[in-house]
Amino acid sequence: MATPTTDNDTRRDDAGSSEPASSTGGGARPEDVFGAATPGDAGDAPVLNAFGGDWDDVAEEAAALHEERIVVNMGPQHPSTHGVLRLILELDGETVTEARAGIGYLHTGIEKNMEYRTWTQGVTFCTRMDYVMPLFNEAAFCMAVEKALGITDQIPERAQTIRVLMMELNRITSHLVCLATGGMEMGATTVMTVGFRERERILRIFEAVTGLRMNNAYIRPGGVAQDLPAGCIDQVRETIPLLRKGIGELESLLLENPILKGRTVDVGYLDLTGCIALGVTGPVLRSTGHPHDLRKTDPYCGYETYDFDVPVEDTCDAYGRLRIRIHEMHESLKIVEQAIERLDATPGPVMVADKKIAWPAQLAVGSDGQGNSLDHIRQIMGESMESLIHHFKLVTEGFRVPPGQAYAAIESPKGELGCHVVSDGGTRPYRAHFRDPSFNNLQATAAMSEGGAVADVIVAVASIDPVMGGVDR
């Protein structure tokens, strides 16, 4: 609070009356408390006296005056909103009285664009939705297409194992991004550097397998694009102990850190009733003590044959969600170890046997990037004209899916990720719609934030772990 005064703020005339001083002789307006001092005239310069006060006294004074509450826009360019999320916060002092989420700033029309591409080309679109967990987007879409085709049971075992391997590695990278960015938003920069260092180890594996670090388009209807390259299993086996050590460092930095616990315990509270009412899934739901995980309750890709636990907490707060994500990374490493042992023991195809569906991809890296290997092209062209025509039609037109619809759901790092596809019997989807967990979970922002401090909004949103590419699609 400040009260401006001047050393010579009034001038008394011969009659004893007072009038405002003016350097121009005409008299300054009464509301112009700073006057109009002549440059260089220090005597006429205003003097600003500032004095402090307790914040509670200031808030009580504002309430007594019945002043309007402050409305603050946080985002959509705020570094703590996990993308272009806009939060409209109504504040009473430092307390959030109302919170609303504004979305749509990253709308890419992915679902609509998929209607103009073949079923296989749709993978290239959907992998870019939640770009932190691209392999889960691909898996949900491909499983829905396979269900519509009626070939779910025909997917080779090796392809299913590779899918599990890649998804669990992707689960770890997603949780690492969540913990790293959430830690940095609370001022823990070391958490950021450690988290992204460990994520980089897995991205090298993704690059070796798919040719890309993100947006891989590796999982295809019928299987996967290609088998694991030579030496990949050894690379994964060597990376696992390094990841386990790095995750241990994050545990040491976070779990018993009194500053972090002070910022996260009882913050972003949402109980089981709230989760069920809002359709919230994933770590947010499991932090209420409910062990809902589709890998256990509705298994897919052979998850029922793997030995792993579903971590739960009963704190219903941001701290419990943090603990769950760390424990889930350890469980994912257990699944990865089981998957690579199976891959060593089960050679075989990685694409469905039906050549009317299987994309003929024998990829190799050439001078112009990654594409079909020259040997594979020579084989296709040398076999017969019919083989070449079939290859051309399958790549350009795609395969046909019988009329009908199908829904497939998987347990992504953020919760239930579902894909609903509708076919009219053509080579392109009539409709493809995704149930992205970030979209549903983001509804909980208001319930988690209202009644808390502004700084707690950052923690609550970080504990939801939304990615706006998946929200807006």
What is the structure's pLDDT at 17? 44
Which tokens belong to 298? 């509705």
Region 144-160: what's the mean pLDDT?
91
Q: Is the pLDDT of residue 244 over 90?
A: yes
* Beta bridge partners of residue 91, listed in sequence order: 70, 96
Q: Is the pLDDT of residue 368 over 60?
A: yes
Helix/strand/coil for 355? coil
What is the structure's pLDDT at 23? 40
Q: Is the pLDDT of residue 451 over 80?
A: yes
**Domains of the chain in sequence order:** 2-77 (no CATH), 101-357+399-472 (1.10.645.10)
Which tokens belong to 28? 């300054």
Per-position DSSP letters for 275-290, written without gaps between them: HHHHT--THHHHTTT-
* Beta bridge partners of residue 104, listed in sequence order: none
Segment among 109-123, 336-350, 367-381, 421-435 with least mean pLDDT: 367-381
Region 113-142: what's the mean pLDDT?
91
Band of the pLDDT at 177, cuts 50, 70, 90?
A: very high
Mean pLDDT, the chain, rounded, equals 82
Region 352-361: what's the mean pLDDT?
77
Q: Is the pLDDT of residue 442 over 70?
A: yes
Percent of the chain residues topping a pLDDT of 90? 39
What is the structure's pLDDT at 361? 61
Q: What distances in angstroms separate CA 226 from CA 136, 348, 362, one per listed residue?
A: 17, 12, 7
Q: d(Cα 223, Cα 218) in Å, to the nearest integer? A: 9
What is the structure's pLDDT at 1? 43
What is the structure's pLDDT at 20? 42
What is the structure's pLDDT at 465? 87
* Nearest residue to 245 (alpha-carbon basis) of 180, 329, 338, 321: 329
Phi-psi region of 227 (alpha: psi -120 to 50; beta: other; left: phi over 0): beta
| Torsion angles phi and psi, residue 319, rounded to 5 | -65, -40
Region 426-451: what's the mean pLDDT?
90
Q: Which residues, 6+ apart, have CB-to-CB distance to 437 below 8 Å?
A: 281, 282, 412, 414, 415, 416, 417, 470
Contact 271, 316 (CB under 8 A): yes
Residue 215 sits at the vertex; the CA angle it makes with 370 and 235, to the nearest 5 degrees, is: 70
Band of the pLDDT at 396, cuts 50, 70, 90?
A: confident
Per-position DSSP letters for 30-83, written without gaps between them: TT-TT--PPTT-GGGS-EEEE----HHHHHHHHHHTTPPPEEEEE-SS-TTSSS
Q: 13-42: per-residue pLDDT in tens?
A: 444 444 444 444 444 444 444 444 444 455
Q: Is the pLDDT of residue 194 over 80?
A: yes
Please give the sequence-ordered ranges of beta strands (E in DSSP) within 396-456, or none if there are none. Answer: 404-412, 415-423, 431-435
Band of the pLDDT at 50, cuts 50, 70, 90?
A: low
* Beta bridge partners of residue 95, listed in sequence order: 92, 453
Region 259-265: what's the mean pLDDT?
88
Q: d(Cα 226, Cα 285) in Å, to the nearest integer? A: 36
Contact 82, 461 (CB under 8 A): yes
Q: Is the pLDDT of residue 419 over 90?
A: yes
Helix/strand/coil for 233? helix
Contact 225, 210 (CB under 8 A): yes
What is the structure's pLDDT at 32? 43
Band of the pLDDT at 189, cuts 50, 70, 90?
A: confident
Q: Select, from the ranges 11-25, 94-108, 409-423, the one with the highest average predicted confidence (pLDDT).
A: 409-423
Q: d(Cα 365, Cα 373) in Å, to the nearest integer? A: 8
* Nearest residue to 199 (alpha-carbon basis) of 189, 186, 213: 213
Decide which of 189 and 367 is more confident: 189
Region 172-199: what's the mean pLDDT?
89
| Torsion angles phi and psi, residue 116, rounded to 5 | -110, 15
Q: Is the pLDDT of residue 2 over 70?
A: no
Q: 291-313: per-residue pLDDT in tens?
A: 999 999 999 999 999 999 999 98
Q: Is the pLDDT of residue 199 over 90?
A: yes
Largest CA distance in the chain: 116
Q: 206-231: per-residue pLDDT in tens?
A: 988 888 888 888 899 988 988 888 88
* Beta bridge partners of residue 415, listed in sequence order: 412
Q: Is the pLDDT of residue 74 over 60?
A: yes
